[in-house]
């Protein structure tokens, strides 16, 4: 069962904050592929799917550039988002 990521978090680092904020407003259903419109950020569209891999939420973008996406997980009291 996926962990609950509900809670309050404080920034420890603001490295790549703009990318984080762009990813933050993405709406999706887990395990349902959808067309993601990234024309505002980098001029492209791609097919995207978000799945759980153990206790990490993983996004994979299928398009012109392979292996793009992000991972989101909770470790102790630290919430991570790596893209």
Q: Which CATH fold topology does 32-82 show?
A: Lipocalin (2.40.128)
Q: What residues in the chain have per-residue pLDDT under 50?
A: none
pLDDT at 58: 93
pTM beyond 0.75: no
pLDDT at 33: 95
Longest dimension (CA), the chain: 37
Q: Where are the domains of the chain?
A: 32-82
pLDDT at 25: 76
pLDDT at 26: 73
pLDDT at 12: 73
pLDDT at 43: 77
Q: Which of 74, 68, 71 is nearest to 82 (CA)?
A: 71
pLDDT at 67: 74
């Amino acid at each position: 069962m996926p962990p609950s990521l509900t809670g309050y978090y404080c920034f420890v680092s603001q490295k790549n904050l703009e990318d984080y904020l762009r990813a933050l407003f993405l709406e999706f259903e887990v395990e349902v592929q959808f067309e993601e419109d990234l024309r505002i950020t980098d001029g492209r569209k791609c097919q995207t799917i978000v799945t759980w891999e153990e206790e990490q939420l993983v996004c994979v973008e299928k398009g012109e550039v392979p292996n793009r996406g992000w991972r989101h997980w909770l470790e102790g009291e630290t919430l991570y988002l790596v893209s």
